[in-house]
Structure 1
Amino acid sequence: MRVTIDNIGEYLHLFSEKNTDFGSPAWAEPIFAAMIRAYQNHEKLTINIGNGYIRNMILSEYQSHKSYSPIECIFQRADVDKIANHITQIMLKNFHELSPKDQKDLRDYLQYLFTELMNNVADHSHSSVGGYAMAQYFPSNRKIQFVVADRGVGFLRNLLLNFDDVDNELAAIIKALQKGITSTEAVMYGAHKNAGFGLYAMYEILNMTGGKFVIISNDALLRYSNGSYSTETLSPPWNGVVVAFEFEEANINYDMDYFRKNYLWKEALEEEDEDFYV
Structure 2
Amino acid sequence: MIFDLTNTRFMTPFGIVLLAGTIAECLSQEKKVRYRRPSNRRTRQFLSGIGFNKFFQLADVEHKIESSHVQLRRLDSIDYLLTDQIVDVFSYAITMSDGLQGSLKLALNEIMTNVFDHSGSAKGCYVCAQAYEKEEIIRLCVADFGVGLFTRLKEKYSNLKNSYEAIKLAVREGITTRSGQEGGYGLSHIRRFIEVNAGKMSILTGDGKAVWNYGGLKTKLRKQTMHLPFSGTIINLEINVDRESVYFLINSEDEIF
Unaligned runs of 5+ in 1: 1-17, 188-192, 265-278
The one of 102, 112, 120 aligned to 1:118:
112
1:240 to 232, 241, 256: 232
Q: Is 1:39 matched up with 2:38? A: no
8 A contact 1:75–1:131 mirrored in 2: yes
How far 1:260 sits from its partner (Å)? Answer: 6.1
| Alignment partner, residue 222 of structure 2 | 230
Q: Which amino acid aligns with 2:35?
A: I
Contact 2:249–2:256 at 8 Å: present in 1 too? no
| Partner SS, residue 236 of structure 1 | strand
Query: Per the alignment, in what secondary structure is the counterpart of residue 165 of structure 1?
Result: coil
What's the % identity of the aligned pairs? Answer: 19
- Encode CA deviations 1:22-72: one digit per residue, 9 max, x unaligned: 4432322111101111111112144334242335421358x7852211111
Q: What amino acid sits opposite 1:70 in the alignment? A: Q
Amino acid paired to 2:141? V
Letter in 1 for 2:175: I
Superposed, 1:142-161 pairs within 5 Å as: 142-161=136-155
Is residue 220 from structure 1 mapped to residue 219 from structure 2 by the alignment? no
- What's the offset of the Cα at 1:114? 2.9
Q: Any idea what the Cα deviations from partners look like across 1:198-241, whole Å, max 9, x if unmatched? A: 11111111112201011000211111113211122112122211
5+ long unaligned stretches in structure 2: 28-32, 56-63
Q: 1:260 to 1:197 in 2, by over 3 A?
A: farther
1:206 is matched with 194
User: Residues 223 and 56 (structure 1 numbering): CA distance in 2 closer, same or farther, change over 3 Å?
Assistant: same
How many pairs are equivalent?
A: 233
Match of 1:87 in 2: 86
Cα distance in 2, alignment partners of residues 106 and 64 from structure 1: 27
Cα distance in 2 for partners of 1:38, 1:262 equals 33
- Deviation string, structure 1 residues 117-169 (Cα, Å, up to 9, x no partner): 22221222211211100111222244321111111100011101211110211
The equivalent residue for 1:4 is none
Q: Which residue of 2 aligns with 1:276?
A: none
Contact persistence 1:42–1:128 (CA under 8 A)? no
- Give the direction of change, closer, same or farther, for the CA distance of 1:86–1:254 in structure 2 (3 Å limit): closer
Match of 1:20 in 2: 3
TM-align CA RMSD:
2.8
